[in-house]
Amino acid sequence: MVGSVAILAARADDATAAQADKKPKSEETVAPGITFDWIHVDGPYIAMTFDDGPSAKLTPKLLDLLAAHHIKATFFLIGENAAEYPDIVAREAREGHEIANHSWSHPNFGKMSDDGVRGQLRKTDDAIKSAMGKSPTLMRPPYGSITPRQKRWINQEFGYKVVLWDVDPLDWRRPGPSVVCNRIVKNTRAGSIILAHDIHPGTIDAMPCVFKELEAKGFKFVTVSELIAMETPLPPKPSPTPKVSPSPKPSPSPKAKPARSTSPSPAAQN
Ligand SMILES: [Zn+2]
């Protein structure tokens, strides 16, 4: 894709982390089947993700809210926090949420040695395993910063899929609950992976609005692994000169592009 080439060229004088943060999609084609930022699915399914916890004060509040809405989320944990609050990790798992690896101390993987990255992931995997009895299967690099080569060896060595996101409310800047809610509701589509952080009070305060509004739009919340399991192939791009036999239908409506809207519309072709 053109995007990948542009990003690779830009990396010469730009911070890798900033690029990766802004354009998580650009490297998707480099490691197909390993990296996910949005999933093509047939129904109105989305995944809510929370990074950087657990927080002793905020995560239990969030878990109460999720339980009240019967929503399953995915938590990308910092190993240091998981080791400090194993009881919260155990509760997350017990209540049906997915637990995933977000490094031990939140460094920039894109600038680290393989051994440094390996240690960050291993220690966190161990902390999660001791808290909930099994290893996670997903990881998210801090800042979304990771090289295509790192993705491949991490996937081979740990079996992790690399999960980025397509909806980012920039809640870490603490813009206030209503702004966080509006940004998420406005940008979420079927198959979205929504980024948020359960270490900011305003993010937790935004969630009643987020859950209510997304539910009102018909979205269904699943974990990231469930969303990945629902992936369906993207429909082929429509040919410029479709050979269609004359149809008796009087409808003048133009051929719609494959729908990516929240309401799953029956595709005309295929
Ligand atoms: Zn993070």
Lowest-confidence segment of 30-44, 77-91, 200-214, 238-252 by average pLDDT: 238-252
Q: Any idea what the Cα angle at residue 134 is, between residues 131 and 80, rounded to 5°?
A: 40
Q: How far is the CA of 263 from the centre of ligand 1 (A)?
A: 31
Catalytically annotated residues = 51, 197
Please write the tens of the pLDDT for every residue from 97-124: 999 999 999 999 999 999 999 999 999 9
Q: How far is the CA of 140 from the centre of ligand 1 (A)?
A: 8
Number of domain units in the chain: 1
State the pLDDT at residue 10: 33
Is residue 49 assigned to a domain? yes
Let me know: does 163 contact 224? Beta carbons within 8 Å: yes
Is residue 72 assigned to a domain? yes
> What is the separation of C-alpha 60 from the centre of its chain, rounded to a whole number of angstroms?
21
Is residue 90 assigned to a domain? yes
Please write the tens of the pLDDT for every residue from 130-184: 999 999 999 999 999 999 999 999 999 999 999 999 999 999 999 999 999 999 9
Please write the tens of the pLDDT for every residue from 202-237: 999 999 999 999 999 999 999 999 999 999 998 887
Is residue 207 assigned to a domain? yes
Q: Which residues pair with 220 in a beta bridge?
A: 45
Q: How far is the CA of 239 from the centre of ligand 1 (A)?
A: 41
Is residue 269 assigned to a domain? no
Is residue 11 assigned to a domain? no
Is residue 262 assigned to a domain? no
Record the pTM.
0.78
Peptide bond just before 54 cis, omega within 30 deg:
yes
Share above pLDDT 90 across residues of the chain, in percent, rounded to a whole number = 74
Q: Which residue in the block uniquely carries the two structure tokens 């440094």? A: 116
Domain holding 225, by residue range, is 32-229
State the pLDDT at residue 241: 60
Is residue 3 assigned to a domain? no
CATH number, residue 211: 3.20.20.370
